[in-house]
Structures are given as structure tokens and as C-alpha cells.
Amino acid sequence: MCGIVGYAGDKNAVAMLMHGLKKLEYRGYDSAGIAYLSQGEIKVKKCKGRLVNLQNIVSDEIKEEHHVGIGHTRWATHGEPSDINSHPHVSRDNRFCIVHNGIIENYMSIREQLIVDGYNFESTTDSEVITHLLHYHYKGDVIEALFKTIHQLEGSYALSIICNDYPDQVFCVRKDSPLIVGKGKNENFIASDIPAILKYTRDIYIMEDHEIAIISSKLVTFYNSLGKKIEKQTMKVTWDENASEKEGYEHFMLKEIHEEPVAITKTIGPRIKNNEIILDQLVLKRPKKIIIVACGTAYHAGVVGKYLFEKLLRIPVEVDVASEFRYRDPIIDKHTLTIIISQSGETIDTLFALRKAKENNSKVLAIVNVVGSSIAREADDVLYTWAGPEIAVASTKAYSTQLSAIYLLALSFYKGEKYKDYVNQLQDVPKMIEHILNSTDQVMKTASLLYNSKSIFFMGRGLDYALSMEGSLKLKEISYIHSEAYPGGELKHGTIALIEKGTPVICSLTQPDILEKMISNIREIKARGAFVIVITQEEQVEKINEIADIILPIPNVDPLFAPIIAVTPMQLFAYHCSVYKGNDVDKPRNLAKSVTVE
Ligand code: F6R
């Protein structure tokens, strides 16, 4: 999704902005641009397409002396990707220049009024109204104009602004869209995302809604929503800078899959002492009901959570997609625990779902990866997944660590006789994944056979169905192969009509109690010509041999823990299909890493 950088300092602003934008590329974008102050004048360079296009038109500026500027990568929402619609946008007198993340929901009515007031619009974006509003309200005081402007805006925004009356400063403000300020030495930064500035500073301020920050090379000043000057504390980012580099892997996605064993160890290790799960920072009572809310991959982790909590704890669990949860009338009260799952901690639908749960007096526990993110800050309790930065758009190690956190949570409430055994098994998960990562030939071979398929189905029952949903999403988002996941017993209620000779179906068979049922379901699709790939524990291979065209074995693991192990071959399969197709694996078309618009 859109990315923002802002710079004021003693280095070349254009080069610094380009560096920041490069680091934000992973968020997904379709155009990019920068604006900088040059001898009191605002200069804008922007264009459609990848950053290399922008790089080509700013190469001269990189050699010159500019010290203040803003930059943007745009993921189109209102208005097609084009040079004109790219940010930054300037006001008609060239005094203000803005970059914007988010959506201004009432932009049409503001635009109509501004046109009546004599303003012309160049772009078809929602964002352009902001520059004209700033111009309209400006009487010599930017802060005043900015407050008047944001009071008129409905929707979400992170804004970074330069004004030629203030040639040493960059202004910023946010609402429901992430924004941080970085404190350096003789330089300060603004960014929508930490990796953009991590090379230069680890001291960051997290902006709250409606706060305004002004940065210059020497100073950072904050105003609260009432216009009063305030002091804020910095937070130290502890990420390893190399974590946002590929370190010899061809793609971030492959690197991140290989990081799963370490990420899981980091997530569970500190929370298990003497074979006992201790979640000390959490003050949770056993709830009467659990609602899990998330989007995409995080939602799929939640579906695994439902099966686990219900099986181990006998607590009723609902799982919902955040954008649906928000607009239905969920039945929640103070006896309900709402679990919010999010890698970024900034997904707007998930953030709003959190607020809805709180409004209904539910306690909210967030399972989040990014420390200090909006969701982490607004939840009552946080269980961090220590996955480190996830750069590839397709989520992999985040999913594995979300599952780890769910296992920790479920087991921390579980009082059954298998407790010790389960805790032991959870600790064995990293080495089982390691084993899979050391023998990937069969997965690669399967991908080489199937990457040209028109459609690939996934099928499983129970936890295997939850897992299949994630396998299917991973495949479609990076390989662009149509895919659907089905419960084993459900395919014949319609979708089996799509099975013809050679249609690949990836079947998860990790749950022995429903193995025979799945075998019958596989026979049904085989009878219609399906090409069957089975993922199962080594100990079951012999039993499955006769019905499978290909078997992708995983180590022998208790069925309860199978999803967290069996997802790795699925991720690798999707990865290799994408590579064979020559796709941009880390930045798949149309997708964004952190979805900060509804
Ligand atoms: C898929 C993927 C997305 C995210 C979803 C939620 O690979 O990455 O489906 O899982 O957009 O994002 P977070 O977890 O940041 O809330």
C-alpha cells in the first residue's frame, strides 16, 4: 500500500528520499514521486511505474544540494495509476505540496465546493483536495491551516507536507493510517513504515491520531490535537537492519520461509520456562466465548485457532474477516475475549474491528508482529510474534509465528493430561520445519509439473481445511493460478463439476481420525480424473500411496501441530510456481503489504 517518506537534514534530500522509497517498495505500489525545496521553490518529480522510472528522472537532482523533501509510493485507489495521479500534489500557487496515504471519503463534496471557489483539479485522486484546502485556509500559519484542513477531512490519512514559506521544515499528521517520525543527528525523518529509515536511525516517535509533527534538520516539534505543543518519548527499534535485506536469497519470500524455525523459536522460547507456558504480561481470565478477527493470512491463522481452542478448551469460538465483523452486529460482551491477529498491526479493517470489540466491552488481545503499531497500542494485551520484519508481500513466517502464538495461548489455558506432551511437541516444531527446508526437491518437482495449471484446488478436513485455505491463498496471490480451498466433504456439493482429467488437487491428510473420510473424498475426485498431491506425515505414506499421484511427506507430528509444519511445503510450492512463471514473487501484482485502506 502507499508509502511515505519525509526528510530534513544535512544530506542530499533527493538521495535520502529515494533510499526510503526503495525500502518501502515491498508495500506494493504503481507509481512514485518526490518533492523537494530548491532555493525556496518546490520541485516535483513523479511518474507511473516502478522506482527505476523515477530514478531516471531524478538522477541530476541527486548531485545537487537539497535538504528538505517528501516522497511517496502510490497504490491506486481513487484514479488510475498515471503520472498525473501520482503524488506529490501541489497547490495552485506552488506553495504547498503534499503526499497522502489513506482515503478521503468525503473528497467529492470538498472537491465540488473547491471548484465553486475557483480551484482547478489536475488529478482524479481524492488526495488533491488536501493541497487546495491547505491553500484555501492558509493565512500565514501552516499549523492553523493544517488543523482547519484536517477538520474537514473524513476518512483516513497520513500526510507529509512541505511549504515554500518554511523551506527548512516538513510537516506531518495522521489519522488511522500509520506514520512515524525518526530522530537522527543533524537530520530527522518521517515515514509510514520503519524500514524506510532504519539505516539512519533507530529512535522513533509514534504519531497518534491528529497530532502534528514538524521536523527540521535539528528539531522535532509536536502539537497535540488541540494545537498545544507537547513532548513525546522516542522508542528504540531493535530490529536487525539486515533483516530487511535478502542476504543471498533470491527473494525475500524464500528467505522468510527459511527464517520460520528461528522466528518460531523466538516467539515460543522466552514464554516456556521449565516446560511450563508463562505469558507473564497477559492478564487474561478464561473467557466464556472467543471471537477471532483478522484479514487474509492472519484470518487463516485464526481459523486454525478456532479448531484448537474448541478442541483443547471447549470454549465456543467465532472467527470472522475484519471487514465483515465491523459491519455486522456481532454478539459480544464483557465475557467475550476478542483476539485480533495482524502482522503489520496497521490493517485498517482489523484496527476498526478492534475498536468495535472494545466499544462492546470485550477485552481485546492482539497477536501482532510490529511493535508499537496501532493495533498493538490500542489492544488491552499484546502477544507479540517475534518474526522480525516481513518484507515479501506474501506472508509466510508471520503466519507460522501467529500459529505459534495461538498454540501458546491455547496451551496456557489448557489443563488436560497431555499438557506436558503438547508443550514438548510445540518446542519440536522448529526442527521439523528445518527438516522440510532441507529436502525441498519433491516440492520443486511438483511445482515444475503444475505451474502452468489453469486451476489448482486444495482440500482437507478440520485443521487440514484451515491449512488448505492458507495454501490456496499463497498460491493464487503469487502464482496467479486460480485456486480454491474446500472441506473434503464439501467439494461434491457443486465444485466437483470443475474437476476434469488432470485437475490438480492438493490434499492435506494430517488428521488420522478423519483419514478414512478423506480417502473416500480423494477417491471421488480421482474417479473424475483429478491429479492428486497429498501432504501427510511420513508414517501415513504407505497407506496413501495407492491413491496419490505425488506425496509430499512431512515429519511424524501430532495432528494438533500438523498445520504449522505442513504449511511450509505449501508456501514453497506457491513460491516455486511463481518463480517458474517468472512472476515478481515479492511484489505480486495488485497487492499491497499493509492494507491501510478499507
Ligand atoms: C497474504 C497476506 C495478507 C495479510 C492481510 C492481513 O499473504 O499477507 O492476506 O495477511 O492483509 O495483514 P496483517 O496481518 O498485516 O493485518
Pocket of ligand 1 contains residue 369 by CB under 6 Å:
no
Query: Residue 50: which of 29, 19, 75 has the closest Cα?
Result: 29
Query: Residue 221: which of 235, 208, 231 has the closest Cα?
Result: 231
- Asked if residue 593 belongs to a domain, the reply is no
Pocket of ligand 1 contains residue 214 by CB under 6 Å:
no
- Asked if residue 361 belongs to a domain, the reply is yes
For a mutational test of ligand 1's pocket, the pick from 177, 295, 300, 346, i.e. the residue with the most ligand atoms closer than 8 A to its C-beta, is 295
- Asked if residue 163 belongs to a domain, the reply is yes
User: pLDDT value at position 113?
Assistant: 97
Which residue range forms the structural domain that includes residue 215? Answer: 3-238
pLDDT band at 573 (very low <50, low <70, confident <90, very high): very high
Q: Are residues 59 and 132 in the same domain?
A: yes
User: pLDDT value at position 147?
Assistant: 96
| Burial of 322 (C-beta count, 10 Å sphere; 0-12/13-18/19+) | buried
Ligand 1 centroid–CA 300 distance in Å is 10
Gap between the Cα atoms of 67 and 215, Å rounded:
12
User: pLDDT value at position 525?
Assistant: 96
User: pLDDT value at position 594?
Assistant: 77
pLDDT at position 582 over 70: yes
Let me know: does 127 contact 87? Beta carbons within 8 Å.
yes
Which has more confidence, 520 or 28? 520
Neighbours of 587 (CB within 10 A): 22
- Asked if residue 164 belongs to a domain, the reply is yes
Quick check: helix, strand or coil at residue 527? coil
Quick check: helix, strand or coil at residue 5? strand
- Asked if residue 595 belongs to a domain, the reply is no
Let me know: does 115 contact 121? Beta carbons within 8 Å.
yes
- Asked if residue 60 belongs to a domain, the reply is yes
**Could you confirm whether 577 is annotated as catalytic?**
no
Q: Are residues 196 and 126 in the same domain?
A: yes
Ligand 1 centroid–CA 167 distance in Å is 39
Last residue of a domain, one of 438, 459, 491: 438
For a mutational test of ligand 1's pocket, the pick from 27, 303, 344, i.e. the residue with the most ligand atoms closer than 8 A to its C-beta, is 344
pLDDT at position 319 over 70: yes
Quick check: helix, strand or coil at residue 220? strand
Bridge partners (DSSP) of residue 203 are 236
pLDDT at position 218 over 90: yes
Ligand 1 centroid–CA 349 distance in Å is 11
Gap between the Cα atoms of 339 and 290, Å rounded:
7
Q: Look up the CATH number of the domain holding residue 433.
A: 3.40.50.10490
Gap between the Cα atoms of 280 and 120, Å rounded:
58
Gap between the Cα atoms of 163 and 167, Å rounded:
7
Pocket of ligand 1 contains residue 296 by CB under 6 Å:
yes
Q: Which residues contact 292 (CB under 8 A, 6 or more apart)?
A: 302, 305, 306, 317, 318, 319, 320, 338, 339, 340, 341
- Determine the atom of ligand 1 nearest the C-alpha atom of 296: 9
Gap between the Cα atoms of 547 and 523, Å rounded:
7
Q: Are residues 73 and 221 in the same domain?
A: yes
Pocket of ligand 1 contains residue 385 by CB under 6 Å:
no
Last residue of a domain, one of 206, 238, 270: 238
User: pLDDT value at position 284?
Assistant: 72
Q: Are residues 454 and 359 in the same domain?
A: no
Asked, as a colleague might, if the bond just before 88 is cis with ω within 30 of 0, I would say yes
Q: Are residues 158 and 233 in the same domain?
A: yes
Pocket of ligand 1 contains residue 217 by CB under 6 Å:
no
The beta strands (E) that lie in 317-384 are given as 317-321, 336-342, 363-368, 381-384
User: pLDDT value at position 561?
Assistant: 97
Q: Are residues 348 and 488 in the same domain?
A: no
**Could you tell me the three cell numbers for 529?**
480424473
Answer left, alpha or beta for residue 462, where phi above 0 means left and psi between -120 and 50 means alpha. Answer: left
**Could you tell me the three cell numbers for 361?**
466491552
pLDDT band at 236 (very low <50, low <70, confident <90, very high): very high
Annotated catalytic residue, options 43, 46, 306, 593: 593
Pocket of ligand 1 contains residue 350 by CB under 6 Å:
yes
**Could you confirm whether 593 is annotated as catalytic?**
yes
Pocket of ligand 1 contains residue 597 by CB under 6 Å:
no
pLDDT at position 597 over 90: no
Ligand 1 centroid–CA 325 distance in Å is 16
Q: What is the pLDDT of residues 462-503, one digit of tens each?
A: 999 999 999 999 999 999 999 999 999 999 899 999 999 999
At 424, which amino acid appears? N
The alpha-carbon radius of gyration of the chain (Å, integer) is: 25
Q: What is the mean pLDDT of residues 118-145?
A: 96
- Asked if residue 364 belongs to a domain, the reply is yes
User: pLDDT value at position 361?
Assistant: 94
Q: Are residues 476 and 501 in the same domain?
A: yes
Mean of per-residue pLDDT scores for the chain: 94
**Could you tell me the three cell numbers for 510?**
494430517
User: pLDDT value at position 415?
Assistant: 85
User: pLDDT value at position 591?
Assistant: 86
User: pLDDT value at position 598?
Assistant: 77
Q: What is the mean pLDDT of residues 268-292?
A: 88
Q: What is the mean pLDDT of residues 48-73?
A: 90
Q: Whose CA is nearest to atom 11 of ligand 1?
A: 296
Pocket of ligand 1 contains residue 322 by CB under 6 Å:
no
Q: What is the mean pLDDT of residues 326-354?
A: 94
Cα dist. 241→216, 244, 399 in Å? 25, 6, 22
Helices and strands, number each (H, E), in the chain: 18, 27
Q: Whose CA is nearest to atom 5 of ligand 1?
A: 296
Ligand 1 centroid–CA 399 distance in Å is 9
Last residue of a domain, one of 376, 403, 438: 438
pTM score, whole prediction: 0.86
Ligand 1 centroid–CA 113 distance in Å is 37
Q: Whose CA is nearest to atom 6 of ligand 1?
A: 295
Question: Angle at CA 381, nearest 5°, toward 379 and 382?
Answer: 90
Q: Are residues 127 and 249 in the same domain?
A: no
Query: Residue 389: which of 226, 578, 255, 589 has the closest Cα?
Result: 255
Q: Which residues contact 543 (CB under 8 A, 6 or more apart)?
A: 515
Ligand 1 centroid–CA 367 distance in Å is 13
User: pLDDT value at position 283?
Assistant: 67
Pocket of ligand 1 contains residue 344 by CB under 6 Å:
yes
Question: Angle at CA 60, nearest 5°, toward 244 and 198?
Answer: 20
Q: Are residues 227 and 297 in the same domain?
A: no
Gap between the Cα atoms of 99 and 106, Å rounded:
18
Q: Whose CA is nearest to atom 10 of ligand 1?
A: 297
- Determine the atom of ligand 1 nearest the C-alpha atom of 370: 15
Ligand 1 centroid–CA 303 distance in Å is 14
User: pLDDT value at position 28?
Assistant: 80
Let me know: does 188 contact 217? Beta carbons within 8 Å.
yes
Q: Are residues 295 and 216 in the same domain?
A: no
Pocket of ligand 1 contains residue 297 by CB under 6 Å:
yes
**How many domains would you assign to the chain?**
3
Q: Look up the CATH number of the domain holding residue 25.
A: 3.60.20.10
| Burial of 562 (C-beta count, 10 Å sphere; 0-12/13-18/19+) | buried
Which has more confidence, 477 or 280? 477
Annotated catalytic residue, options 2, 97, 172, 295: 2
Q: Which residues contact 77 (CB under 8 A, 6 or more apart)?
A: 103, 126, 597
Gap between the Cα atoms of 21 and 193, Å rounded:
10
Q: Are residues 476 and 573 in the same domain?
A: yes
Neighbours of 496 (CB within 10 A): 18
Q: What is the mean pLDDT of residues 555-565?
A: 97
Q: Are residues 510 and 426 in the same domain?
A: no
